[in-house]
Chain A
Amino acid sequence: MLKILIPTLFLLPTTWLTSSKWLWPTALTQSMLIALGSITWLNNTTDTGWTALNSYIGTDPLSTPLLVLSCWLLPLMLLASQNHLSSEPMNRQRMYITLLATLQLFLILAFGATEMIMFYVMFEATLIPTLLVITRWGNQTERLNAGTYFLFYTLAGSLPLLVALLMLQNNTGTLSLLIIPYAKPLLLMPFGSKIWWAACMIAFLVKMPLYGMHLWLPKAHVEAPVAGSMVLAAVLLKLGGYGMMRLMIVLDPLSKEMVYPFIVLALWGVIMTGSICLRQTDLKSLIAYSSVSHMGLVAGGILIQTPWGFTGALILMIAHGLASSALFCLANTNYERTHSRTMLLARGLQIALPLMTTWWFIASLANLALPPLPNLMGELMILTSLFNWSAWTLILTGIGTLITAAYSLYMFLMSQRGPLPQHMLALPPSYTREHLLMALHLIPLLLIILKPTLLWGWFAC
Chain B
Amino acid sequence: MLSRFTRLGTTLPRILANSGVRFVSQSQKSASAGSATLSELLPPQDSHDHGEVNHYVKNPDYHGFSTDPVVDQWNMRLAFFFGVSVVLVIGGTFIHYLPDYGMRQWARREAERLLKHREAKALPLIAEDYYDSSKIVLAAAGED
Contact = CB atoms under 8 A, between A and B. Distances in A.
Contacts of A39: 87, 91, 94-95
A40 B94 contact: yes
Given A352-B23, A426-B24, A426-B41, A42 B66 contact: no
B78 A42 contact: no
B79 A436 contact: yes
Given A44-B101, A426-B54, A451-B96, A36 B83 contact: no
Interface in A387-422: 422
Interface string B65-95: 1111001001110111011101110111011
Question: Which of B34, B80, B83 counts the most A-chain CB atoms under 10 A from its CB?
Answer: B83
A182 interface: no
B108 to A, nearest CB: 12
A443 B85 CA distance: 13
B36 interface: yes
B34 A433 contact: no
B63 A440 contact: no
Interface residues of B, number: 44
Interface string B38-76: 100110000000001011100000111111100100111
Contacts of B33: 422
Interface stretch (A190-198, A309-317, A319-327, A453-461): A453-461
A79 interface: yes
Contacts of B75: 24-25, 28
Given A22-B71, A24-B66, A453 B101 contact: yes
A340 B80 CA distance: 30
A306 interface: no
A38 B97 CA distance: 16
Contacts of B55: 428
A245 B83 CA distance: 31
Contact of A36 (B68, B71, B91): B91
Interface of A is mostly: helix
A75 B38 CA distance: 34
A124 interface: no
Contacts of A426: 24, 38, 41-42, 52, 54
B74 A25 contact: yes
B74 A43 contact: no
A22 B63 CA distance: 15
B26 to A, nearest CB: 13
Interface string A429-449: 101111010011001100100
B92 A447 contact: yes
A184 interface: no
A110 interface: no
Nearest to A21: B71
A429 B62 CA distance: 10
Nearest to A82: B65
Interface of B: 23-24, 33-34, 36, 38, 41-42, 52, 54-56, 62-68, 71, 74-76, 78-80, 82-84, 86-88, 90-92, 94-96, 98-99, 101-104
Interface of A: 21-22, 24-25, 28-29, 32-33, 35-36, 39-40, 42-45, 72, 75, 79, 82-83, 86, 352, 422, 425-429, 431-434, 436, 439-440, 443-444, 447, 451, 453-454, 460-461
